[in-house]
Amino acid sequence: MISEIHLNIGSNSGDSRAFIARAVAALRSAFGGTLSVSSEVESEPWGFVSANRFVNVGVLIALEISQPWTPFLLDTLLAKIKAIEKSISPMPHRKPDGSYADREIDIDIIAVDSLEYSSTALTLPHPHMSERRFVLEPLAELASGWKHPASGLTAAEMLARLKPCENI
């Protein structure tokens, strides 16, 4: 069966576009399947103050899987993505006090099919996706028919519900 893995890749430090290109190439190599990349979305940092704007893209991996997703397989998926992230940049995403920091690369799992899942390391769909234009725009571009399993809303419908200041 074909599974759709929705990712968001962002960077606001160094050569952001080069870091994102490296991440996309590493994902293509690691997962095979069909990989689609959205248009770039530039945005202000979310959750912290920085002079550096983010560049984000969405990635859709259509992957042939032989069995349904299990917690073990989802944890393995997360570990594989985090290993790719670390191979590109070991730079931490948080400051010592726990607050967000600038980053060379950040790869987030936004959704896997229409799964709802929660563990200490991973929540699906991503718990803040409906608040982030830089996640919703690429998702709407790559998977216009995808619906949030809890709300039943598409990415475009969630995007329309953002406050005007969040749509900048």
Which tens digits make up the pLDDT trace of 45-95? 888 888 899 999 999 999 999 999 999 999 999 999 999 999 999 887 777
- Say yes or no to pLDDT of 2 above 90: yes
Predicted confidence at residue 140, as pLDDT, reads 97
Range name among 26-30, 34-38, 49-53 with the lowest pLDDT average: 49-53
Specify the DSSP class assigned to residue 97: T
| Residue 165 pLDDT class (50, 70, 90 cuts) | low
| Residue 168 pLDDT class (50, 70, 90 cuts) | very low
Digit-coded pLDDT (tens) for 101-135? 889 999 999 999 999 999 999 999 999 999 999 99
Predicted confidence at residue 46, as pLDDT, reads 80
Q: In the chain, where do the E strands start and end?
A: 2-11, 34-37, 41-43, 54-64, 106-112, 117-118, 123-124
Predicted confidence at residue 164, as pLDDT, reads 65
Q: How many residues does the chain have?
A: 168
CA distance 8 to 96: 24
CA distance 140 to 85: 24
Closest CA to 42 of 15, 18, 10, 14: 10
Closest CA to 30 of 93, 67, 75, 79: 79
CA distance 132 to 158: 9
CA-to-CA dists, residue 39 to 65, 134, 154, angstroms: 27, 11, 18
What pTM was estimated for this model as a whole? 0.92
Cβ neighbours for 152, distance < 8 A, ≥ 6 positions apart: none
